[in-house]
Structures are given as C-alpha cells and as structure tokens.
Amino acid sequence: MIRRRSLLGGLALGGSGLLLSGCDKLNASPGFRNLLEGAEQLHYRSQRLLGGGAALAREYGRADMSPLFRTNGNRTPASLAYAALAENNFIDWRLVVDGLVARPLRLSLADLGRLPQRAQITRHDCVEGWSAIGKWQGPQLAAILRAAGLSSRANFIVFHCADDFGGVPYYESIDLNDAFHPQTILAILMNDHRLPVPHGAPVRLRVERQLGYKHAKFVMRVEARERIDDLYLGKGGYWEDRADYAWYAGI
C-alpha cells in the first residue's frame, strides 16, 4: 500500500509539472489550436440561432450610466492627417462608403446628423472583462448601406480606421446580420455630446451584441466586401490578425 501511495503522490506531483508545460506545448500546436478555435463557429452559429439574429441588446436608463466611461485602445490616432481633421473640428472629414455598392458615398458629419437618428443607452463590454454604460447616438448603418445601394454580392462590412498600432492600421469587420441590426449605428454623439477623441471621434461603430474591440473607433471608410480573408492578414480585424482574438466576439 505504501508503494502505491507514493506512486500516486509522485504521479500527482509529476502530473502538475507536465500539465503546465503540456498546456503551453498544446497552446503552440497549430492542430490543437485549430481544434479549440473551431468552437468560435459553434458560438457564432448557436448564438445566431438563439437570438434569431434579431435580439436586442439591453438598453438602460439614464440612472444606470457609468459616471465615468473609461477609454481603451488608441486614445488618439497618431497620423498628421487625423490631427489636421481634429484641429478643424472634423468639418473637412468625410466618411467614404464604397466597395460592393451601387452608389459610393462621401458623407460629412452634418450629413450623418441629418439622417434619421437612433439613440441608445447600452453596455460596452470589453474583452478584458470590464463594462461601462453610456449613451450613443447616430444614424443606423442599415440606412447608410441602403442609401449606397449595397450589392447582393456583399457579405461583410469592413470599417477602416484612422488609428494604427506601430503603423498597422486598425480595422474591423461584421457580417450583414450585425450590419442591418437596428442597434448597429455609426455613433456621432456620446452621452449627448460630440464624440470625444479618446472615444473615437468623429465616428465610432456601435455593434452592441459583441465585445468592445469590434466597436471600431475613428472610422474613415466603410467598405462592403464579398470576403475578408483576402484583407490584411485575413482574419477580419486588427486584433484578430495580430493576437488571434475571435472574429465573432459575441462571447
């Protein structure tokens, strides 16, 4: 019995050491990673199925809003062109809407303000774990895509941003279900004021059923595309390309 006990004890000790190095090895193994990352498709399909793709994110009252909405990611784009736009209160800024559309658009902030507005007090969930509640207002992305005449070949909407990390521009992409979701807006107001620069002035995407890194800030161009695997590193977004964050960030 003594020998069995010491054997079990030895196995437990050795096991914990093996566990650590084993998990790191598995983590680096492309085959195993592919297997684990396969769960993203399960999340995407099951969550689209459950919500029917139409569920609305919780909207809150004024009393529920965060006293201070923290910022994350780039606080301000580094480019001189952006600095010049910001200097002039974005009067010269134009949102380019192109790609697979019948009528490419160039919209000013005033144009966006003239479109029917949607205001929503929603919860921003960062991938890191924190949440902040704020009020966002702007035109629905759906209205802009309809105005531009979205092609039936388009499957994804890509958001090209003014900010970059070490020269690599930030971008994000969503599917058409999210693009035409009623709460998906191009926010030009936050908490009833013009969007502050740290929160993505002049325009930030709100895609309320996904995590914060999908909510592209400093949006300069909205591009409709058939596919996203031929763009940058092919994973559909800056963090997806750079750090293997999931493209579908509903969880």
Partner 1 sequence: MAAPVARARQHVRVVPLRKVADGIRTDPIRVASSMSSEATPDQPPSPERPPAGGDLVVRHRFATRLWHWVNVVALVVMLMSGLMIFNAHPRLYWGQYGANPDPAWFEIGSRGDQGFARLGSLQISTTGVLGVWRDSTGNIQHRAFPRWATIPSSYSLADARIWHLAFAWLLALGLLAFMIASLINRHFRRDLTISRADIRPSHIWHDIKQHARLRFPTGAAALRYNILQKLSYIGVIFILLPLIIFTGLTLSPAMASSWGWLLDLFGGRQSARSLHFLAAAGLVGFALVHVVMVLLAGPYNEVRSMISGRYRLPRDKGQRR
Binding-site ranges for partner 1 (CB under 8 A)? 1, 3-5, 8, 19-20, 23-24, 27, 33, 35-40, 42-43, 47, 50-51, 55-58, 60, 64, 66-70, 123, 125-133, 208-211, 239, 243-246, 249-251
Find tokens 């909205």 and name the residue: 222
CB of 70 to partner 1, least distance (A): 5
CB of 13 to partner 1, least distance (A): 13
Tokens at residue 214, please?
Answer: 């999908």
The three state secondary structure string of 67-101 is: CCCCCCCCCCCCCHHHHHHHHCCCCCCCEEEEECE
Cα(62)–Cα(65) distance, rounded to whole angstroms?
6
Of the two residues 40 and 111, which places its CB atom closer to partner 1 in the complex? 40
Of the two residues 128 and 192, which places its CB atom closer to partner 1 in the complex? 128
CB of 102 to partner 1, least distance (A): 31
Cα(202)–Cα(111) distance, rounded to whole angstroms?
13
Cα(170)–Cα(164) distance, rounded to whole angstroms?
5
Of the two residues 107 and 216, which places its CB atom closer to partner 1 in the complex? 216
Tokens at residue 120, please?
Answer: 């929503």
Of the two residues 11 and 81, which places its CB atom closer to partner 1 in the complex? 11
CB of 126 to partner 1, least distance (A): 7
Of the two residues 125 and 223, which places its CB atom closer to partner 1 in the complex? 125
Cα(181)–Cα(185) distance, rounded to whole angstroms?
9
Of the two residues 36 and 110, which places its CB atom closer to partner 1 in the complex? 36
- H or E stretch covering 221: strand 219-225
CB of 109 within 8 A of CB of 202?
A: yes
CB of 161 to partner 1, least distance (A): 20
Cα(26)–Cα(34) distance, rounded to whole angstroms?
11
CB of 133 to partner 1, least distance (A): 5
Find tokens 């908490």 and name the residue: 191
